[in-house]
Amino acid sequence: MLFFNVSIFPSHQAFSNGAQCYGALGGTVSLQLMDDFSQIHKYDLKFKTESVLSGPSGIKMKNRSSFFPSNGTFWIHNLSRNDSGEYRLQTFDSNGKQTKNHTLQLLVQGKYDFIS
């Protein structure tokens, strides 16, 4: 099962593919990419066009993120407005064939931002 579950620490809310979610400027957001990565041969999480997590292991957002493959949760800490945008998770089988492709839009908002 492939899904995005996004939370602004500490609560969790489930989102489907193509969802929009919000994070607080300076805060932490939790993206539950999948419920289990044990059967995934290869995965790649891209922010816009840059790979921020690829695997079976390798976090690229140094000092600002954590990844827990046991429950499929990717955390982004100390959010900035530059973290706003599209996140795309792609998974691949052992032959390198893409098996899933899911996206989510993250909008980081500050104290005086308004949602219209």
81 φ, ψ (degrees, to nearest 5): -60, -25
Total-model pTM: 0.77
The one-character DSSP state at 8 is: E
Strand ranges of the sheet holding 73-76, from the earlier edge strand across to the other edge: 13-15, 2-8, 29-34, 73-76, 65-68
What's the CATH fold of domain 2-109? Immunoglobulin-like (2.60.40)
Contact present, 2 and 18 (Cβ < 8 Å): no
Q: What is the pLDDT of residues 26-70, one digit of tens each?
A: 999 888 787 767 778 888 999 988 888 888 766 677 688 888 877
* DSSP characters over 35-50: S--TT-SEEEEEETTE
